[in-house]
Chains A and B, each alone.
Chain A
Amino acid sequence: MSETTSTADSSAAQAEPGSAEQAAAELDATIAGIEHRLTVWAADTGAALAAMSGKVTGTAVDKLIRPVVEELVQLPGGYAAGAGFIANAGLLGPERSYIAWWQGPDLEPVDALANFSPNSISRYVKAEWFRIPVETGQAHVTGPYVDFLCTDEYVLTFTHPVFTRPDAPVAGIVGIDVTVQRLERGAMPALRRIGGRATLANADGRAVVSAAPDIDAGDLISPDEPCVHYPVGHTFTVWSDAVGL
């Protein structure tokens, strides 16, 4: 806080060659780390569900998912605000989904009342974080968006499809919610090392975190040439110089 803006700017300008690349690599490692953890979790979950040999119950799903969520949300310095599993129709019943999702260090259950609804799948089929991994069979990042279903915060949701067999339909999805606020705290130091207008953007060209005072999370932005693009994780990019649209 004692550091003045001008001092910070000049120190960024005098940064040694390679340090912007290094800062971008750090951001990439953070996001790729979340994505990798999710891929591993999806594989483990698929194998465990397959081992249940068709007799999948809500209680069994809870028992399988909750310890992982606990580890994720309670990890010191971790990024997960919430995490869980949502069953696709068919795993527990024809129109029935099942949500095993918890948020916060106290593991507050999310949307758990929906598990008593026979048509609960209708709650999730339209949501981007469910629909896209189920339709494409690929991992997906949704947001940043205001999450009305669980955190009521501005978040990114990383989701990954779960398969019980390689040729079987998608059994469900596992996902991790990361608040934009948490990401901001993690990403700002690296962005400042890249430049005063360095911005982490999602695949749609929307700012997630920006070092520029006039770019807010959620703003649509464009690169201000000359602008260096650093890939971050599977879908994000850091733009060294961004402007608001």
Chain B
Amino acid sequence: MLLSPNGASRSLAAVFTPIKSRGLVDEVCGRIEQAVETGLLTSGQRLPNETELAAALGVSAVTAREALSQLRASGIIRTARGRSGGSFIADNVLPSRERALAQLHELSRLQIRDLALHYQAIAAACAGVAARRADAADIATLRSFIPSADDDSSSWNLAFSEFLLEVAAIARSARLARELIRLQADLGALTLLPCADAGYRGRTTVILEDVAAAIEAHDPSAAETRVKALISATTEWLLTEQAKRY
């Protein structure tokens, strides 16, 4: 069949695709997990009760209750009864290497490569615009996110994500920034895996410095190339690791 302007175009086909939403309960769980991952909520800390959680996140009490029970089932929180009872963030929950490895093994090489291509396209677009718009203060902030090679893997991973978000912030495009955040959510804990490798941390630190230098030099094409190299380094590490399961 020909895809003519009057016929069944591919863009029209998308209009009739069923809408799948993660659902509010998953969304609440995701927020709590993210708060734990970023250190906002820490092990042993008491969580708000259903009513408080519902009010804070603007969801119904039923949704909050379901989310808490889902988090309990996945071992992220534990519940204690009695006078000093309540829900608490469990010990050593996130982000774990086991969880990330499980995620990596669920993905095919094709999916990893495709996700990386998308990530590269968005990050490179951000870097190109950032190189045109950066001022001295932007560069100083950007450099503050370059982790040191002896940081532990989870803070190194966090700094890496923040570095790319800062590139998007310097580009000053809300759309590109939102897309980058979405991609980082899709990548989840995956990027934690290479960060445990000192060799990867060393190589990548050099590329992060190169990206910052290209943006500072107002050189959009170098900034784009170097950001792509940054993501390639991560992808290659993940593909090498993923191959080991076969």
Q: Which residues of A contact B (CB under 8 A)?
A: 108-109, 112-120, 123, 144-146, 148, 152-154, 204, 206, 217-220
Contact = CB atoms under 8 A, between A and B. Distances in A.
Interface string B45-71: 101100010011110000000000000
A105 B130 CA distance: 32
A129 B173 CA distance: 19
B45 A118 contact: yes
A144 B177 CA distance: 14
Chain B CB within 10 Å, residue with most, of A113, A123, A148, A217: A113
Chain A CB within 10 Å, residue with most, of B31, B55, B58, B137: B58
A220 B136 CA distance: 12
B178 A113 contact: no
Contact of B40 (A108, A109, A123, A144): A123
Given A112-B57, A113-B56, A152-B177, A146 B133 contact: no
A121 B55 CA distance: 21
B174 interface: yes
B169 A109 contact: no
Nearest to B48: A116
A111 to B, nearest CB: 9
A69 to B, nearest CB: 14
A113 B57 contact: yes
A10 B11 CA distance: 42
* Size class of the contact patch on chain B: 20 to 34
Contacts of A154: 172-174
Contact of A146 (B41, B45, B48, B177): B177
Contacts of B132: 219
Nearest to A146: B177
Interface string B17-42: 00000000000000110010000110
20 contacts: A112-B56, A112-B57, A112-B58, A113-B40, A113-B56, A114-B35, A116-B45, A116-B48, A116-B56, A123-B40, A146-B172, A152-B174, A152-B178, A154-B173, A204-B135, A204-B137, A217-B172, A218-B133, A219-B132, A220-B133
B155 to A, nearest CB: 13
A148 B173 CA distance: 11
A162 to B, nearest CB: 22
Chain A CB within 10 Å, residue with most, of B45, B168, B172, B181: B172
Contacts of A145: 169, 172
Given A146-B177, A219-B133, A114 B57 contact: no
Given A117-B45, A144-B172, A148-B177, 9 more contacts: A109-B55, A113-B31, A114-B35, A118-B45, A120-B40, A148-B165, A154-B174, A206-B135, A217-B172
